[in-house]
A and B are shown apart, each in its own frame.
Chain A
Amino acid sequence: MGQQHLARPVTVALVEDHQVVVDGVRSWFAGSGPSPSPVELVVQGPTIESVLGADADVLLLDLNLNGTMVIDRVAELCQGGQRVIVFSEHEEPEIVRAVLDAGASAFIGKGRATRDSCVETILEVAADRPSVTPPMAQAIATDERPHRPQLSDKERAALLFWFQSMSKASVAARMGIKERTVRQYIDRARVKYAAAGRPAPTKEKLLICAIQDGLIQPDEVGVYTSLAAKSPPGQS
């Protein structure tokens, strides 16, 4: 699935009720220089309904639309197989956890989003690879709910340091490990998180991809085995 996106730009639908943000995102995706942008905004609107039915790889969703929080709409979008990236200033851990539980693939905090980090997250999500932004790292690391996934101490530390530091390289230096290992800890934590809680097609895709990439073994978490055995729709 990841390879097919390399041939063409990843298509994005944007739900955002502030024109200034729409213009900003559009300018991010417009690309600069000779090489074409890897991301293309194909449709945008101020409500979820205004973009429903659009054939986009990823839906970028503002949580607060005309003064109404639409957290409870995330689950229905994800159940329909839509990859959703929440794009919001409401970075509180409980809100981030709520949308991840509902099946959102990622959460981008508006407060610190840059073009590069946003595009990187979209590409990872479109390829069903684990993507962990700083707000997600905090939300996953500080989860104390009874059904939370069991993270190792290093996975939790990597997530917390990633949220609070300046880069993954600094986390690696702090933990005395390679940056690649830091990424592995963070990604594994994300995959474990996807395996916990209620199932969603978006989470299944992430888990299958994680097993295929060898990020996690099928027998590490029971649920993975059955999911890996399935042939997902559209996958040869």
Chain B
Amino acid sequence: MTEEIEQVAQRYARFTALGAATIAAVWHLGYDLTVTITGWSTFRWPWLSVAAWVAYSAIFVVALLSLLRTSRGPARIRELALATLAVDVAVIVSLRPEELIGISDWAWGSVGWIAIMLVWGRPRWKTELIAFLAANAGIMLVAMVVTGTFDRVSISKYLVVIAGGVTMQLGYTWGCHILRARAEDAVVLARRLAADDALRESAQRIHTDRLRRYAAIRDVAEDLLHQLADGADPGDPRVRDDCTAGALRLRRLITEREDVPDELVSTLRERIEAAERRKVMVTAPPFGDYLPGLPDGVREDLLRAPIRALDGARSRARVTVSAMSTMVSVAVVADNDDLPISATPVQEPSGVVVTYQRQGGEVWVNSIWQGP
């Protein structure tokens, strides 16, 4: 899931960054270049403004390449940010003093877009962008002080451009950030919903299976009660065995607690049911909720020998599973007379070790997997 979130985050980071680059490019070509050419006479040193325009373009290309490669701004932005501010200063210097904040003063409204590209995807983007925009506003303020441009119109222009520029540039970056965060949230939520659905479905499957088994046990219990009501002798060993077997199945059903089906446990339950249908009395303490994940082939090797012992049980069997974080042990003790056994432990290719032992008419088959 983390990978998916990362992918979504990267996709959003990439396309919103390219959006910022597109705005910067359109602005730089459509406005900055136009006013530089059409306002040629408003510059004291028009070629300095052209050089600034070219420098801005070069920084733009560096930032764009970084965004295309990594969806983030360049690694070392301090020099590039200073160069961008230098572009700002160069354009101010290139203008005639009376043209300050005029239509030809293109840099101080544009450099913010370069700054957006530089800080894109950086952890402290907010602080860095605000610092840059503040420096940009400060430079213009200093220029106004130096040139004595403090008429009402100039101050109004200053405030409008600062407010407009900051709103657009900070707003765009902030909006994209929110968009990306919400997209990530949506992915997490979608995954949670899918997980909930899967859990609900598996819980439903388990519930249905329990109802089915409960119905089967109920039928058996009903039959036994009818037999007793019709005069069956409770002291008869066969009746007592049937009652015990029914009670064992009912107790196992009551103590089952897992909500998520485990393949090893499901297989064992299936074979236990099959044994019970053959009138084998099976005891099986709760298998527990926390079986570790098993490498390929281990589950099959763990189950093979114990299930063979269970399948061949004559009248009784005990099935146990013990588990730790790196160990699973499955054992069957059964009155299985025909099971061929090995006197020495059998090492399976998966690392599972199976041991056999006969004692007092019973066979004990135990397979153990020890993880790394």
A interface residues (Cβ-Cβ under 8 A, vs B): 89-93, 109-112, 134-135, 138, 141-142, 144, 160-161, 163-167, 169-170, 173-174
Give which listed residue, A134, A144, A163, contacts B325 with CB less than 8 A: A144
Establish whether residues B286 and A170, one from each chain, have CB atoms under 8 Å apart when the complex forms.
no
Establish whether residues B322 and A160, one from each chain, have CB atoms under 8 Å apart when the complex forms.
yes
Q: Chain B CB within 10 Å — which of A160, A164, A167, A173 has the most? A: A164
Establish whether residues A173 and B255, one from each chain, have CB atoms under 8 Å apart when the complex forms.
no
Give which listed residue, A111, A160, A170, contacts B283 with CB less than 8 A: A111
B interface residues (Cβ-Cβ under 8 A, vs A): 248, 251-252, 254-255, 257, 283, 285-286, 288-289, 318, 320, 322-325, 329, 331, 333, 355, 357, 359-360, 362, 364, 366
User: Known contacts A111-B248, A138-B322: does B366 contact A164 (CB below 8 Å)?
Assistant: yes
Q: For the complex of A and B, list the 10 residue pairs with the smallest distance between their C-beta atoms, beginning with the closest.
A: A164-B331, A91-B285, A166-B333, A164-B320, A170-B359, A92-B286, A165-B364, A142-B324, A166-B362, A89-B251
User: Known contacts A89-B254, A91-B255, A142-B322: does B357 contact A165 (CB below 8 Å)?
Assistant: yes
- Given the complex of chains A and B, what is the CA–CA distance between A207 and B352 in angstroms? 38
Establish whether residues A135 and B255, one from each chain, have CB atoms under 8 Å apart when the complex forms.
no
Establish whether residues A163 and B254, one from each chain, have CB atoms under 8 Å apart when the complex forms.
no
Sample of 8 more A-B contacts, CB < 8 Å, known A110-B251, A138-B322, A167-B359? A92-B255, A134-B285, A135-B285, A138-B320, A142-B323, A166-B318, A166-B364, A174-B357
Nearest residue in B to A92 (C-beta to C-beta)? B286
- Given the complex of chains A and B, what is the CA–CA distance between A167 and B318 in angstroms? 12
- Given the complex of chains A and B, what is the CA–CA distance between A141 and B251 in angstroms? 24
- Given the complex of chains A and B, what is the CA–CA distance between A164 and B333 in angstroms? 8
Q: Can you list 29 A-B pairs with a CB-CB distance of less than 8 A?
A: A89-B251, A91-B255, A91-B286, A92-B257, A92-B286, A93-B288, A111-B251, A112-B285, A138-B285, A138-B320, A142-B322, A144-B324, A144-B325, A160-B322, A160-B329, A161-B366, A163-B320, A163-B322, A164-B320, A164-B329, A164-B364, A165-B357, A165-B364, A166-B318, A166-B333, A166-B360, A173-B357, A173-B359, A174-B355
User: Known contacts A92-B286, A93-B288, A142-B324: does B255 contact A165 (CB below 8 Å)?
Assistant: no
> Which residues of chain B come closer than 8 Å to A90, judged between CB atoms?
255, 286
- Given the complex of chains A and B, what is the CA–CA distance between A163 and B286 in angstroms? 13
- Given the complex of chains A and B, what is the CA–CA distance between A199 and B329 in angstroms? 32
Establish whether residues A167 and B285, one from each chain, have CB atoms under 8 Å apart when the complex forms.
no
Establish whether residues A111 and B324, one from each chain, have CB atoms under 8 Å apart when the complex forms.
no
Nearest residue in A to B362 (C-beta to C-beta)? A166
User: Known contacts A93-B288, A160-B329: does B360 contact A167 (CB below 8 Å)?
Assistant: yes
Give which listed residue, A111, A141, A167, A169, contacts B322 with CB less than 8 A: A141
- Given the complex of chains A and B, what is the CA–CA distance between A4 and B350 in angstroms? 55
Nearest residue in A to B284 (C-beta to C-beta)? A111
Establish whether residues A89 and B366, one from each chain, have CB atoms under 8 Å apart when the complex forms.
no
B141 to chain A, nearest CB (A): 62
> Which residues of chain B come closer than 8 Å to A170, judged between CB atoms?
357, 359, 364
User: Known contacts A89-B251, A89-B254, A142-B322: does B285 contact A169 (CB below 8 Å)?
Assistant: no
> Which residues of chain A come closer than 8 Å to B320, judged between CB atoms?
138, 163-164
> Which residues of chain A come closer than 8 Å to B325, judged between CB atoms?
144
Nearest residue in A to B320 (C-beta to C-beta)? A164
> Which residues of chain B come closer than 8 Å to A93, judged between CB atoms?
288
> Which residues of chain B come closer than 8 Å to A111, judged between CB atoms?
248, 251-252, 283, 285
A35 to chain B, nearest CB (A): 24
- Given the complex of chains A and B, what is the CA–CA distance between A59 and B286 in angstroms? 25
- Given the complex of chains A and B, what is the CA–CA distance between A92 and B286 in angstroms? 6
> Which residues of chain B come closer than 8 Å to A92, judged between CB atoms?
255, 257, 286, 288-289
> Which residues of chain B come closer than 8 Å to A166, judged between CB atoms?
318, 333, 359-360, 362, 364
Establish whether residues B324 and A109, one from each chain, have CB atoms under 8 Å apart when the complex forms.
no
B258 to chain A, nearest CB (A): 10
- Given the complex of chains A and B, what is the CA–CA distance between A167 and B252 in angstroms? 22
A197 to chain B, nearest CB (A): 19
> Which residues of chain A come closer than 8 Å to B257, judged between CB atoms?
92
Give which listed residue, B283, B355, B359, contacts A112 with CB less than 8 A: B283
- Given the complex of chains A and B, what is the CA–CA distance between A183 and B184 in angstroms? 58
> Which residues of chain B come closer than 8 Å to A112, judged between CB atoms?
283, 285, 318
B239 to chain A, nearest CB (A): 16
- Given the complex of chains A and B, what is the CA–CA distance between A180 and B372 in angstroms? 32
Establish whether residues A165 and B366, one from each chain, have CB atoms under 8 Å apart when the complex forms.
yes
B225 to chain A, nearest CB (A): 14
A85 to chain B, nearest CB (A): 17
Nearest residue in A to B358 (C-beta to C-beta)? A170
> Which residues of chain B come closer than 8 Å to A163, judged between CB atoms?
320, 322
- Given the complex of chains A and B, what is the CA–CA distance between A111 and B252 in angstroms? 8
User: Known contacts A111-B248, A142-B324, A170-B357: does B283 contact A165 (CB below 8 Å)?
Assistant: no
- Given the complex of chains A and B, what is the CA–CA distance between A110 and B255 in angstroms? 11
- Given the complex of chains A and B, what is the CA–CA distance between A134 and B322 in angstroms? 11
> Which residues of chain A come closer than 8 Å to B322, judged between CB atoms?
138, 141-142, 160, 163-164
> Which residues of chain A come closer than 8 Å to B362, judged between CB atoms?
166
> Which residues of chain B come closer than 8 Å to A142, judged between CB atoms?
322-324
B363 to chain A, nearest CB (A): 9
- Given the complex of chains A and B, what is the CA–CA distance between A91 and B331 in angstroms? 17
- Given the complex of chains A and B, what is the CA–CA distance between A1 and B255 in angstroms? 37
B128 to chain A, nearest CB (A): 44
Q: Chain A CB within 10 Å — which of B285, B318, B364 has the most? A: B285
